[in-house]
Chains A and B, each alone.
Chain A
Amino acid sequence: MRSFTYERARTPAEAAASAMRKPDAKFIAGGTNLLDLMKLEIETPAHLIDVNGLALDKIEPTQEGGLRIGALVRNTDLAADTRVRRDYGVLSRALLAGASGQLRNMATTAGNLLQRTRCPYFYDTNQSCNKRKPGSGCAAIGGFSRQHAVVGASEACIATHPSDMAVAMRALDATVETVRPDGATRTIPIAEFYRLPGDTPHIETTLMPGDLITAVTLPKPVGGKQIYRKVRDRASYAFALVSVAAIVQRDGTGRVALGGVAHKPWRVEAAEAQMPNGAKAVAARLLADARPTRENAFKLALAERTLGAVLAEAKG
């Protein structure tokens, strides 16, 4: 691990200002992904700003009838919160499907959103990777691409976003709240939070330098049957090949978002109009622009079948 200087921030604005002032600074909260990447020298921050003391660890009701989840709320606490379990079941389920008990005890809400891809070529510093080293090429294209993106990818990058939580947040229309170095705040709908790789896959979100996530807000509960179905190589403690977050109302309408298939949680609102017509129709619209590799083409059929299983479960 490269050496770095360390500080404990006292207020969100102070943390953001410090990040703006110090070149190559990073915030650290749970550390479960950042330290992993620092040990491999994929991330090499010169300065770490420890935000664990910022008291952003509460889940509070909003005036609109939703919930405001502090950036530092640990994954375990968010999944176990009685309001989340009751009103946002898809979020609890997505969180519990991710990582291990130990990691969920450490990982935070904001950190989960910002975790980096687990593309093995991103992780292997001997390989070319436009995300790790812009302009170096993408070894995953033409490489072992079974786990990679089937939709929304580019000539520069076919990595997937690894988060389960973010897929549920996308289905729930969450918004991300940030504070800027000058103390100003911003709210970013999750639909506008993640970027597709394009020719700048190293820029993954619409956050600006120094922006610190302070909370994620959920709108008023929408009810319905909420399901998160994750298909992976092991029954536990593995990243998704394909996952489906679904909210299905009694009349068969609702929302779906996919994980494991793109550089961001994949939701196409127009596809949701097809929900009463069944999984095939929804998947056809959701994945209309898919360009899989020979190795990951199975994800198209898998997504459709997983969606089918979820819609059947919602009916039953």
Chain B
Amino acid sequence: MKSPSDFELSRRKLLAGSAASIALTAAPSIVNAQVPAVEAAVADVSAEWKVSFTVNGTARGLTLDPRTTLLDSLREHLHLTGTKKGCDHGQCGACTVIVGGRRINSCMTLAVMHEGERITTVEGLGTPENMHPMQAAFVKHDGYQCGYCTPGQICSAVAVLDEIKAGIPSHVSADLNAPPQLSNSELRERMSGNICRCGAYSNIAEAISEVAGRPA
């Protein structure tokens, strides 16, 4: 079955094609001069953008409708379906990926805004045979039930530990000018952008604490 995005692409090509034929019929007497005119018409109608970025260490190039979110480019165009679409409005965190070392909501950004950037999805953290320590800890501590929010939780958790290491304070940091602690309340505050509807929070906190090297 064709995916909706495949359909959209073919529909766009069709539209671009019709525009080209209109240009041809409009000026039949200057056939030799048609080539640039056709190109201009195509560029104008298709409004597609080329974007290149690195996903999990591999360079990828895509031609996209500029409306395509980074999330949809990963799932629908690159078929990396580990990253999940939950609310699609930046509220649930299921779509969290790491871009340039920072976690972001991939649903709230356009793919074309990430030219040349380095993107890491849950597929890039580890494999079933060679799991990232955070993935292993989620398995060990049962940090999920249905698993839908898990890729976002794991990407977020990996980045949270880097943020603490980098000295970025949080809402619950007692002293803005001291290095943040690896406390349970710090981890919970920093993970508040990842919602787990099954409510596996305490196990998620235990998994992250273990990787952080402290008791939960």
A residues at B contact (CB < 8 Å): 1, 3-6, 8, 28, 30-32, 35-36, 39, 48, 50, 52, 76, 79-80, 82, 85-86, 89, 92-93, 96-97, 99-103, 105-106, 235-237
Query: Interface digits, B168-189 against A, CB 8 Å rule (1 contact, 0 not)?
Result: 1111010011000000000011
Pair A31/B193 contact, Cβ less than 8 Å = no
If A52-B113, A102-B104, A103-B90 touch, whether A6 touches B66 (CB-CB below 8 Å) is: yes
Pair A100/B176 contact, Cβ less than 8 Å = no
Pair A102/B66 contact, Cβ less than 8 Å = no
Complex contacts, A52 vs chain B, CB 8 Å? 113
The reply to whether the CB of B192 lies closer than 8 angstroms to some CB of chain A is yes
If A5-B47, A28-B113 touch, whether A79 touches B169 (CB-CB below 8 Å) is: yes
CB-based nearest B residue for A96: B171
Q: How far is the CA of A52 from the CA of B113 in the complex (A)?
A: 8
> Which residues from 90 to 110 on chain B have a C-beta closer than 8 Å to any C-beta of chain A?
90, 93, 96, 102-105, 108-110
Complex contacts, A79 vs chain B, CB 8 Å? 168-169
Complex contacts, B84 vs chain A, CB 8 Å? none
Q: How far is the CB of B177 from chain A (nearest CB, A)?
A: 6
Pair A35/B65 contact, Cβ less than 8 Å = no
Which of B163, B177, B189 is close to A236, meaning CB atoms less than 8 Å apart?
B189
User: Of residues A5, A6, A99, which shows the largest number of chain B Cβ atoms within 10 Å of its Cβ?
Assistant: A6
Q: How far is the CA of A250 from the CA of B83 in the complex (A)?
A: 51
Complex contacts, B65 vs chain A, CB 8 Å? 3
Complex contacts, A31 vs chain B, CB 8 Å? 108-110, 113
CB-based nearest A residue for B178: A85
Q: How far is the CB of B152 from chain A (nearest CB, A)?
A: 9
Pair A3/B192 contact, Cβ less than 8 Å = no
